[in-house]
Structures are given as structure tokens and as C-alpha cells.
Amino acid sequence: MDIEAIYQRGFQARCDGRYAEAKVELTRVLSMDPRHVNARHQMALIQGFEGDFDGSLNSLAALSREVPGNLEVLYDLAMTEMMLGMYDEACAKFKKIISIDPSHSKAQQQLVYCP
């Protein structure tokens, strides 16, 4: 099975809330390609979904620094910050996303909560 098929299985398991299964598949992807951005992104999200909010925040922040042009990673980092009460930081990121991609509908929706 190719790496993207394994990733898709892990991604779907994460979307379905089957985090243990998702981690197994995503770990397989990362063993094949430790720099696989999407697998690392999903693993960071799972950290938060399982209650490790600080770990998720740190993982997303590190990934965002590595791939600054990835707006989905930046968006999820901003959402995590918003959930943790880091409103100024989150709003700055939503505004940055909109400045790069004015059609980013999810970031536009979040701007309603920003001054």
C-alpha cells in the first residue's frame, strides 16, 4: 500500500473520531516519511482531541514554523489558540490567513470574534 493510501486511512479514522486507529496509520506514514506534513498535522490535531491541548498547541506551532505557507496548519493553530483563550494571537493569525487568501471561508467566519 502506498503512503498516501495509508495517510487517507489515518485521516478518515481521525475524522471519524477513531483516534487510536488514526494514530496507528499516521505513525506508519511517519515511519515511511518523518517529514510528511499532513500526517504530522493530523497527529497534532489528535493530541488536542485527546485532551493534550498544550502538546497540540506546541506541535501545531512547530509545524507552522516549518511550513509557514500552509494555511490549514496556521488555521488549526489559530483555532487551538482561540479555544485556549489566546484571542489576540488567534485573531492575528486569522487576519494573516485572510491577507494571504481572502477567500479562506473558515478564517473569515472566525474574524467575527476578533476586534
- Mean pLDDT calculated for residue range 99-112: 97
Model pLDDT, residue 1:
79
- Rounded Cα gap, residues 57 and 63, in angstroms: 10
Q: Are 95 and 114 in contact (CB under 8 A)?
A: yes
Measure CA of the first residue to CA of the last residue in the chain; give whole Å: 48
**Is residue 1 classed as helix, strand or coil in its secondary structure?**
coil
Its pTM stands at: 0.94
As a whole number of angstroms, the distance between CA 113 and CA 87 comes to 9
Q: Are 23 and 46 in contact (CB under 8 A)?
A: yes
Reported confidence tier of residue 95, pLDDT bands at 50, 70, 90:
very high
Q: In one letter, which amino acid is 48?
A: G
pLDDT digits (tens, 9 = 90+) for 37-62: 999 999 999 999 999 999 999 999 99
In the predicted structure, residue 19 carries a pLDDT above the cut 90: yes
